Chains A and B, each alone.
Chain A
Amino acid sequence: MFVLDTIAHRLKRGCETMDYPNGPAPALPDRYGGTLKVDGTKCSENCNACVSVCPTQAIFRAEGKPVALDLGRCIFCAACVQICPSKAITQTGDHRMAARQRKDLILGEPEKEQVRLAVALNEKLRKLFGRSLRLRQVSAGGCAACEADTNVLGTIGWDLSRFGIQFVASPRHADGLLVTGAVSKNMVLALQKAYAAVATPKIVIAVGACAIAGGPFINNPQILNGAASVVPVDLYIPGCPPHPLTILDGLLRLLNCFEKDLPRRTH
């Protein structure tokens, strides 16, 4: 009898929504590398080992300068970490890596070894969106993994709506767009139309390496190397795909949720 069975199950399991961000974040697997830290001063002269193994052209080294790693292009394969002889590039295990500006994702220089994490929206926008943010998701030339891990935020474990954030069916009902994918040429028109249909003021969030810079398909002629080529982007969330915790962290930073009272569990 499924009615009794499901009630018994619910009573046994209790509330399955995680305590985070009021409690600890869910445990990440030990092999999860997290964001990268790049200390360009450790680079030995004329070493280009990392540049030549990076599959997405995320690492540059200009003549006589230390290495620079673009976390927006990075797909976190860790090939550079493994090959670096001087341990200039290291994994941190930290899931936090969302940034407000593209240049905040360029790592390597002194004081810029790690990503400069996103600051909240300005006060006017926070007043509008802080307690109710509706997003229209636009999938535009990716592999659907970012979409999958965005969807995860809607499951009972994460329950994104407790922060007032929801995905809506129409851009007319939305305060902004959450874009995934590198923006294929075939999706340019649809993305432009969706953006135009959102009422002003509006925000755009680029989720994943594709939406930030083209991801594994960077510079393919059929794609535009990211959402910023079509619409202005307010938040960049790196990853391939980003862990749901990384996406949530980015959204909560934008709404300043780490500095104000968070919604409490009511049970």
Chain B
Amino acid sequence: MNTISPFALLPNTTSILWAEIPAWPVAQLVQATAVELGRGARLCAWFAVPEETKACIVALLAYDADNTLAVGRSESLMGAFPALTTIRPQAHMFEREVWEQFGLVPVGHPWLKPVRRMNENAPANGEFFRVTGPEVHEVAVGPIHAGVIEPGHFRFQCAGEEVLHLEIALGYQHRGVEEALIGGPYRGTMSQMETVSGDATIAHATAYATLMETLAGSEAPLHAQWLRAVALELERLANHTGDIGALAGDVAFLPTAAACGKIRGDFLNLTALICGNRFGRGLVRPGGCPHDLETLRAEQLLKRLKDALTDTAQAVGWFWEAASVRSRFENVGTVFPAQAAEIGLVGLAARACGLVRDVRYDHPAGWHRFAQVPVAVWPSGDIFARARVRSLEIQRSGQYLCEQLLAPADGERFSELTPPAPDTLAVSLVEGWRGEVCHVALTDAAGRFRRYKIVDPSFHNWTGVALALRGTAISDFPICNKSFNLSYCGFDL
């Protein structure tokens, strides 16, 4: 492959000089990207970088089977470019974003509208796609939802109970994360990274910290890499367990809902045992991890972890044994594998469509170079599959933690970092509990951030929710949405 791909190859958590990234006229970049995506590559990021009065587009691809990433860019342009979306739909949200942020028009994009931009004091949602007909009605939900959850707007086109089309309009949580990073890193950057998506603190913090280490041409000590891997799996356990409980609650299966709601807290408290905060705030810093996991603490963590895993196995067991639960999950909210590949799903939503996609396995970095978690896959693409993958991942992450906690990496907690390299692009991918968290940084001549791109897995996967609803009863929207449990703030940035 190496000789064929026109893009510059770079493994996860490495960097490349900006000048060494191949640059083509934009039409050629679109064409080359389409060709690579057509033969198995995946679009991790597609974003613009401002260049004086113009901008250029950067494409970051992943060749999962070859365990490498690849980057290419366009020459500076203004105005318009031929849309990649018309050939490769997985680019559709990226191209809307490029248009919104830099005014570059993807010509031929079938549904060009804002991603999160403001119009006075609410997002400029623009037109919604409408189905017309005597039996068709429209249902609007949000931005404020019934539960204690984040805001977003859902517009359904329905014929009776059946959803013909769902359009999701987000942007309500837009805090200006990427804009705030330009010229950085600043004093407040680390805490902003920890709150890109609050339930994936470890994933985003690790992606950022690793990026800073990469830009410094260094890496964190092994002990810190090990601790980050431990914390990442604890985060996965807490969220997966909580989601299984919430799915049980949504189909009124209360034993599992009640038990998992509590066990989720047990897992969060294990993270707090390491760093004092249930979400892992302060656990990861560029250069290492400030907290030590001494032998006694590790033993206590392991003991409490085993108890929580036993409780989880029992509570999840009831859930799988109940035919009433299975029948609510099977063949509901299905995303077919071909669709999943076409729209570029990542993470557990992709694995629940039978796609073997897991950064820990495909693009191992940090501790995952030495110790990996088996990839959990289920083929059916429905709610059942997404619950099933979570349940398998709870087992595998639990097993992984039990092994890792017995074999800690000794050594320093921190290594000194030199200032970030100038005019360099660095990439860091982390498999958070939802999926691939992608951070890309480009530095200027002084080593400050010229551009910082964050792609939360939710950015890829919201389209999956929309597709899952097609042909589904609108009353099943809550369980469909919960089965993905995507981040609104991670998307909105």
Contact = CB atoms under 8 A, between A and B. Distances in A.
B281 A75 contact: yes
Contact of A220 (B175, B276, B489): B175
A216 B192 contact: yes
Nearest to A167: B148
Interface in B272-296: 272-279, 281-282, 291
B322 interface: yes
Nearest to A152: B265
Interface in B473-493: 487-489, 492
B493 to A, nearest CB: 9
A241 B121 contact: no
Contacts of A155: 258, 261-262, 264-265
Interface string B133-160: 0000000000110111111000000000
B171 interface: yes
Given A145-B201, A221-B176, A240-B281, A31 B191 contact: no
A205 B74 CA distance: 49
Nearest to B153: A190
Contacts of A137: 147-148
Given A31-B276, A222-B179, A143 B489 contact: yes
A144 B317 CA distance: 29
Interface string B171-214: 11111110110000001101110111111010000000000000
A194 B144 contact: yes
A190 B143 contact: yes
Contacts of A194: 144
Interface string A154-184: 1111000000000101100000000001101
Nearest to A78: B282
Max chain B CB contacts within 10 Å: which of A142, A144, A194, A218?
Answer: A144
Interface in A1-56: 1-2, 5-6, 9-10, 16, 28-33, 52-56
Contacts of A215: 195
Contact of A6 (B150, B188, B255): B255
Nearest to A194: B144
5 closest cross-chain pairs (CB), A and B: A145-B198, A143-B198, A31-B276, A222-B176, A169-B146
Contacts, number: 188
Nearest to B246: A151
Contact of A2 (B143, B195, B272, B318): B318
Given A136-B144, A141-B173, A241-B198, 6 more contacts: A2-B318, A16-B262, A52-B187, A56-B191, A156-B261, A194-B144
A226 to B, nearest CB: 13
A138 interface: yes
Interface in B231-287: 255, 258-259, 261-262, 264-265, 269, 272-279, 281-282
Interface of B: 116, 118, 120-123, 143-144, 146-151, 171-177, 179-180, 187-188, 190-192, 194-199, 201, 255, 258-259, 261-262, 264-265, 269, 272-279, 281-282, 291, 314, 317-318, 321-322, 487-489, 492
A167 B145 CA distance: 12
A157 B143 CA distance: 30
B281 A9 contact: no
A149 B120 CA distance: 31
A125 interface: no
A142 B273 contact: no
Given A2-B322, A157-B262, A216 B176 contact: no
Interface of A: 1-2, 5-6, 9-10, 16, 28-33, 52-56, 75-78, 136-152, 154-157, 167, 169-170, 181-182, 184-190, 194, 215-218, 220-223, 240-241, 243
Given A55-B191, A144-B198, A216-B195, A77 B175 contact: no
B150 A222 contact: no
Contacts of B188: 55-56, 216, 218
17 contacts: A5-B317, A9-B255, A31-B274, A32-B276, A143-B195, A152-B265, A155-B258, A156-B261, A157-B262, A181-B173, A186-B123, A186-B492, A187-B122, A187-B173, A190-B144, A216-B192, A243-B278
B281 A31 contact: no
Contacts of B144: 136, 138-139, 190, 194
A61 B282 CA distance: 25
Contacts of A52: 187
A51 to B, nearest CB: 11
A222 B199 contact: no
A138 B150 CA distance: 8
Given A137-B148, A149-B278, A223 B176 contact: yes
Contacts of A152: 261, 265
A138 B276 CA distance: 27
A148 B198 contact: yes
Contacts of A31: 272-276, 291
A136 B177 CA distance: 27
A142 B198 contact: yes
A139 B195 contact: no
A129 B175 CA distance: 34
Given A55-B187, A157-B262, A33 B255 contact: no
Contacts of A241: 198, 279
Contact of A186 (B118, B196, B272): B118
Given A141-B175, A147-B149, A190-B144, A77 B279 contact: no
Contact of B175 (A1, A217, A240): A217
Given A217-B180, A220-B176, A187 B279 contact: no
Given A29-B273, A156-B261, A53 B489 contact: no
Contact of B116 (A55, A139, A186, A221): A186
A76 B194 CA distance: 13
Contacts of A76: 277, 281
A189 B322 CA distance: 44
A24 B175 CA distance: 39
A157 to B, nearest CB: 5
A267 B153 CA distance: 43
A222 B180 CA distance: 10
Contacts of B487: 144
Contacts of B123: 186
